[in-house]
Amino acid sequence: MPIQIVKETERLVYKNDGSKIYYRRISSAKRGFIVKKNTKRGFVDWQAVSKEIMDYIVLGWDNVQDDGEVLPFDPESIAGLPDDVNLDLLDLSGGALALEQRETGPKNSKASSSGS
């Protein structure tokens, strides 16, 4: 498959058990901006990074339900998506790369030194 440029206007589809979630990929520049924005004094707020990336990548959905009722798309409802769906979307969009830094990234690697 040839290289594809990441575009702000793209709309891809993630399908799961009869539901469709429309998403877009995130560029490395946008991902880096979000991580930097949520870094204070060398510490990254990974929960805020994840939320902001999800808010950016999820564009809408069809047939997502809450207690058996179809839930119209509302950006405020993105946080209620199941963890496995969040992880799939972060992986597909390229957003998971930011979260992987949590394990190996330079931002928090020196934070645990005692300075002795």
pLDDT in tens, 21-44: 999 999 999 999 999 999 999 999
Task: Tell me what the pLDDT averaged over the chain comes to.
Answer: 86
Q: Is residue 10 part of a domain?
A: no
Q: Is residue 70 part of a domain?
A: yes
Q: Is residue 74 part of a domain?
A: yes
pLDDT for res 81: 95
Q: Where are the alpha helices (DSSP H) in 19-82?
A: 28-37, 46-57
Q: Is residue 113 part of a domain?
A: no
Closest CA to 46 of 98, 113, 109: 98
pLDDT for res 61: 97
Q: Is residue 21 part of a domain?
A: yes
pLDDT for res 111: 41
> How many structural domains compose the chain?
1
Domain that holds residue 47: 16-103
pTM: 0.80
The CA distance from 89 to 96, in Å, is 8
- The pair of three-digit structure tokens given for residue 116, joined into one six-digit string: 């002795």
pLDDT for res 101: 63
Q: Is residue 46 part of a domain?
A: yes
Q: Is residue 23 part of a domain?
A: yes
pLDDT for res 102: 62
Mean pLDDT by 10 residues, the chain (116 residues): 86 95 94 95 93 96 95 95 94 83 52 40
Q: Is residue 95 part of a domain?
A: yes
